[in-house]
Structure 1
Amino acid sequence: MPDFPLLLHTAIDTTDCRGLAEFYRELLGARYRPGDEPPADGSPDDAHWLVLLDDAGDRLLAFQQVERLERTTWPEHDVPMQMHLDFTVPSREELERHRGRAEALGASLLLDRTGAEDEPLYVLADPSGHPFCIFVG
């Protein structure tokens, strides 16, 4: 028995549960928890809670449907970020490739800090407006 609680996954609120889950599934090469896949028979997709798994079957992210979600105004602080996700890539070339992939999937660029020699990074917003960073690490 562990001495401390274990992190199961990070849950993200969204007004488009399937859409945001699909964004991160594609971005991270993840897969759905069994039973969370999109309906194959064309029936309406009314998912209100979805979970993504990594290759080992461990939980990565969960998505929770909400009626309303106010987008952060970061870098202004009228509506603070509250949390963000960080992802690393091994090289500047991979940083550029994954920025392009993220934007093709629906992300938008919030900050370009690729001129920083010590930690080049991009801050992007996912389709629901949640910021995330991709940096060389």
Structure 2
Amino acid sequence: MTFPVLSCTAIDARDARSLAEFYSALLGLHCRPGDEPPPPPEPDDTDWIVLLDTAERRVLAVQAKPDLRPSTWPSEEIPMQMHMDFRVPDAQELEVQRERAEQLGARLLMDRSEDPDEPLYVMGDPEGHPFCLLVG
């Protein structure tokens, strides 16, 4: 029996380019050829950007959704709907990556860094999508 293989995760964004740049910087990814930003002064009207890892595998795609309403999690007014988990090797690296994420434009939504079983931070990316940084 064969099974489908996940190609990548696609995420909506009011500003696809900015969110793609955030995840590129956070995760060490790069744009698929042809998805790079256009040279100035050309407008950037890209509505689908695919991000690749160093082995040129698709990891994440960002699609423009100008009317996106960001999650209000932990309030359920607009639920999380999905989130991504990013693993780091230890508590020291967890702190380093939380600080990096905040410098790149993420915000802290929940601090569970003292949890003895699974230290983690729930962060919100610049578009409001929750994601976790966790020791694993």
For the aligned pair, the TM-score class normalised by the smaller chain equals over 0.9
Q: Report the TM-score when normalising by structure 1.
A: 0.96
Q: Deviations over 1:48-81 (max 9, x none)?
A: 0000001111000001101211111111211110
Q: Indicate the residue corresponding to 2:41 in structure 1.
A: 42
Q: How does 1:1-137 map to 2 (within 5 A)?
A: 3-137=2-136
Does the Cα contact within 8 Å between 2:15 and 2:66 map onto a contact in 1?
Answer: no
> Could you tell me how far 1:41 is from its partner in structure 2?
4.5
CA distance in 1, matches of 2:87, 2:81: 20
Task: Provide runs of 4+ in structure 1 moved above 3 Å.
Answer: none
Report the AA paired with residue 99 of structure 2: G
**Pairwise CA RMSD of aligned residues?**
1.0
Gaps of 5+ in 1: none
CA distance in 2, matches of 1:53, 1:102: 19
Gaps of 5+ in 2: none
Report the AA paired with residue 132 of structure 1: F
CA distance in 2, matches of 1:96, 1:36: 32
CA distance in 1, matches of 2:56, 2:39: 22
**Which sits farther off after the overlay, 65-74 or 102-111?**
65-74
Q: Report the TM-score when normalising by structure 2.
A: 0.97
Aligned length: 136
**Which sits farther off after the overlay, 46-55 or 66-75?**
66-75
CA distance in 2, matches of 1:16, 1:83: 19
